[in-house]
A and B are shown apart, each in its own frame.
Chain A
Amino acid sequence: MIVMSSSSNKSLIIEAPCRLDAVRDAARVVRSFLATNGVDESEMDSWELVAVEAGNNAVQYAPAGTTPNGSEHSVRFLMNSWPDCVELCVTDHSQQFDWPADSVLPPEDSEHGRGIFLISALTDSVRYLRGKRENFLILRKDKKTRRGLNDVQRDADLETTLQMMTEELGASFESLSAIVKFSTEIGRAEDTAACAAKWLGELLKSTGTHWYVLRQYDRDCGTLSVVISSLPPTIEHQVITLPKHPTSTLPVELQAITEGKDIWFDDNTEAITTEALTSAFGETIAGFCHPIYVGSQLFGVISIGVRSSKADLTVSKINVIHTFAGFLAIQLCNSQAQKEALQSRVIGRELQIAANIQRSLLPKRLPQPTGWTLSAHSESAHQVGGDFYDAALVDDKNLVIAIADVMGKGVPAAMFAAIFRSHLLARPELAPTPGKMLSWMNRVLYADLSGVDMFVTAQIIHMDLETRKVTLASAGHCPAFIVEGDKNKLREICGDGSPLGIAIDSVFPEESFIMGPNARLLMFTDGLVEARNPSGRAFGSVAAADLLKTSAIDDLDAPATIRTILDGIADFQHGTAPTDDISLVLLAESSLLPTATAVPATSHS
């Protein structure tokens, strides 16, 4: 490489071999030359890059072989530092290349084509003169106007301020966190949202953006819902759902979370992908969607931008947005966690109340009609169950037994069980006709049950203790089992009615039969036959019936029969936690039992 400079050091000539590495060396010399001419740092950056791009272009389009006089092709740089401008002339020997009329950026993912754009963007004037053997690229840049990288840096003060803001935000993270945490801890969780809105408003000002929307990702539903936006009333209801099947036109916000990176959009972006944003913020918008993670968990996505066709946000502004969005997501997560903790404490208390209600509902003592023993057991799969049973001797002759399963858990189920019980005892004259009793209860409870989408399965049995006539009616409940006489035979009495709360005019046909000698009658809820073993198989009604028959053969009394059935279920479950409540009521003829005594009810929850 040959380097010559004028005595005044205002002109420079470099004759470099036609190689990329030589061009790079020449650009370094250009930089040094400008340094000695008092050109500032950023302008030297620009010229160094311009020289490299121009020189690379010359190398790339250089003809093969040697010059007509047999020498190697070279790239010549001639630089002049005038009082008001700097001029660079790069000589090449291309016979094919011509300077394009427009120097625009290539598509984003193109790996080539930015050199000419850079040369044009970083200089004030570009002329390309084609010669017979040589071509001349003449570039000029006014020292006063300082375009190019310097111009890109026109908001240098603002940039510095933004950088400082980013650093400050990072540095004050702890204190900001403490402030928000404090406000939420004292039970003013809504302050987090108000605080977020205020800060996001500041963010718009400091980054020169016009609008934002922060959406949170719901992992269970696969949706993005608005947490806060600069136009809350307009898009609060907007929910973006992750499609179940792949699609080529995902909304930009879903693209950001599925690809885990910022997605930019402007007026050239496919309209269907920005519909959620344009419908809220206007047709002409541009900006980007940034996925936000808290730890490794996706929190959501912030979309932010301007009301114009292009968004020219600098890296500093983008970083401020990234930093603040991350900070905000942590605060919102903390706030939500605190709300959930508070809510779970409330729910815990509610469940405790419900459990107490339920315990108080189960009869502490069951009637023991002469010649019969009555025993029962109930256990809940959860803290509060929806099972219920009761029995009453209306008089010496009439025994009524009811069992019910409220479809629902917690306080509402317990409340309905309470209502059911009060109604069961309210109309003793209906006791001999359980079908009518259920019809009346259904009409009374229908409005309340259907209003909360709950229903109750129930079974009521009336027994005339003198005639041994049993009348059964069922509201969608599982059958009752009866073993009598020949202990190997079991009868199932189902009844035929829909659950209470399904239809106001439901009828509940009654089934009657005379109880044979040595009888046992088992009423239960479906948790008994639905109990599962570790492989997921259900206990089933056959196994339950077998246990009842075995107990009858063994002449077990009512409590012992119930224990036998419960032990059988426990063996079958083999440690598998029950998923449903289990309740049993057993009526056994005690005249068969050698030591017949009144057996108190057992009830457990």
Chain B
Amino acid sequence: MTTTLEAPNVTLSIAAPAEITASSAAAFRQFITGSLKAQHTNLDLDMRSTTFVDSSGLGALISLHKHLSEKGGKVRLLNPRQSVLQLLELTRMHKIFEIERA
């Protein structure tokens, strides 16, 4: 079994937009996947400026999670605001994403 057990370190860090909603989710997802290079296995999404996420926004995040999981990586959500954090918890997304707060 070939398995890398070292901490993954090829990470793309991006600041998330102010809102990730039904009208912007597709563009957001395309922007991120377009920014991910072949070597990027992990995505750090800084959400400190994100004030509003709806269910379509969550769908976009899950889509990215699936995309990177296939590459053996993961998505980390950094510094989400309280309202976004509560949304993530309410929808159990915090069990999928690694969430770090400053």
Chain A residues close to B by CB (< 8 Å): 19-21, 23-24, 42, 45, 48-49, 52-53, 56, 59, 105, 108-115, 117-118, 121-122, 149, 152-153, 163, 166, 217, 219, 242-247, 257-262, 264, 288, 293, 295-298, 314-316, 318-319, 322
* 26 pairs from A and B in contact (CB 8 Å cutoff): A24-B23, A49-B52, A49-B54, A49-B87, A52-B54, A53-B54, A53-B55, A105-B91, A117-B91, A118-B87, A118-B91, A121-B90, A122-B90, A149-B90, A152-B89, A153-B86, A247-B1, A258-B5, A259-B69, A259-B72, A259-B74, A260-B74, A261-B74, A296-B6, A315-B94, A318-B99
Interchain residue pairs A-B with the least CB separation, the first 6: A111-B59, A20-B23, A114-B55, A115-B55, A293-B7, A264-B95
Q: How far is the CA of A297 from the CA of B8 in the complex (A)?
A: 10
Inter-chain contacts of B39 with A (CB < 8 A): none
Q: How far is the CA of A407 from the CA of B31 in the complex (A)?
A: 65
Flag whether B96 is at the interface (Cβ < 8 A).
Answer: yes
Q: A105-B92, A319-B99 are in contact. Are A56 and B54 (CB under 8 A)?
A: yes
Flag whether B12 is at the interface (Cβ < 8 A).
Answer: no
> Which of A108, A111, A288, A293 interacts with B63 by CB under 8 Å?
A111
Smallest CB–CB gap between A333 and chain B, Å?
14
Inter-chain contacts of A115 with B (CB < 8 A): 54-56
Q: How far is the CA of A56 from the CA of B3 in the complex (A)?
A: 43
Verify B3–A242 contact, CB threshold 8 A.
yes
Verify A111–B6 contact, CB threshold 8 A.
no
Q: How far is the CA of A604 from the CA of B52 in the complex (A)?
A: 78
Q: How far is the CA of A152 from the CA of B8 in the complex (A)?
A: 33
Inter-chain contacts of A113 with B (CB < 8 A): 55
Verify A258–B89 contact, CB threshold 8 A.
no
Inter-chain contacts of A117 with B (CB < 8 A): 55, 91
Q: How far is the CA of A52 from the CA of B91 in the complex (A)?
A: 16
How many residues of chain B have a CB within 8 Å of chain A?
Answer: 43
Verify B63–A149 contact, CB threshold 8 A.
no
Verify A314–B89 contact, CB threshold 8 A.
yes
Q: How far is the CA of A264 from the CA of B98 in the complex (A)?
A: 12
1/0 per position for B1-18, CB-CB distance to A under 8 A?
A: 101111111000000000
Q: How far is the CA of A318 from the CA of B88 in the complex (A)?
A: 13
Q: Quick one: which of B59-102 are within 8 Å of A by CB?
A: 59-60, 62-63, 65-66, 69, 72-74, 83, 85-92, 94-96, 98-101
Q: How far is the CA of A20 from the CA of B21 in the complex (A)?
A: 9
Verify B101–A114 contact, CB threshold 8 A.
no
Q: A105-B91, A315-B94, A318-B94 are in contact. Are A296 and B63 (CB under 8 A)?
A: no
Verify B83–A149 contact, CB threshold 8 A.
yes
- Give me 16 other A-B pairs in contact (C-beta within 8 A), A52-B21, A259-B69 excluded: A20-B21, A24-B19, A105-B91, A112-B59, A118-B87, A118-B90, A121-B90, A242-B3, A245-B1, A246-B1, A261-B74, A297-B6, A298-B7, A319-B99, A319-B101, A322-B100
> Which of B3, B5, B23, B55 interacts with A118 by CB under 8 Å?
B55
Verify B98–A110 contact, CB threshold 8 A.
no
> Which of B8, B55, B92, B94 interacts with A260 by CB under 8 Å?
B8
Flag whether B32 is at the interface (Cβ < 8 A).
Answer: no
Verify B66–A109 contact, CB threshold 8 A.
yes
Q: A114-B58, A261-B74 are in contact. Are A152 and B90 (CB under 8 A)?
A: yes
Q: How far is the CA of A108 from the CA of B83 in the complex (A)?
A: 20
Flag whether B22 is at the interface (Cβ < 8 A).
Answer: yes
Q: Quick one: which of B17-45 are within 8 Å of A by CB?
A: 19, 21-23
Q: A56-B56, A257-B5 are in contact. Are A42 and B83 (CB under 8 A)?
A: yes
Verify A260–B7 contact, CB threshold 8 A.
yes
Verify B92–A108 contact, CB threshold 8 A.
yes
Inter-chain contacts of A297 with B (CB < 8 A): 6-7
Smallest CB–CB gap between A253 and chain B, Å?
13
Smallest CB–CB gap between A391 and chain B, Å?
55
Q: How far is the CA of A90 from the CA of B4 in the complex (A)?
A: 51
> Which of A105, A242, A314 interacts with B1 by CB under 8 Å?
A242
Verify A261–B62 contact, CB threshold 8 A.
no
Nearest-CB residue, chain B, relative to A254: B3
Verify A219–B62 contact, CB threshold 8 A.
no
Smallest CB–CB gap between B3 and chain A, Å?
5
Verify A109–B62 contact, CB threshold 8 A.
yes
Inter-chain contacts of B59 with A (CB < 8 A): 111-112, 114
Nearest-CB residue, chain B, relative to A118: B55
Smallest CB–CB gap between A39 and chain B, Å?
14
Inter-chain contacts of B87 with A (CB < 8 A): 49, 118, 149
Verify A21–B23 contact, CB threshold 8 A.
yes
Inter-chain contacts of B4 with A (CB < 8 A): 260
Inter-chain contacts of A118 with B (CB < 8 A): 54-55, 87, 90-91
Nearest-CB residue, chain A, relative to B6: A296
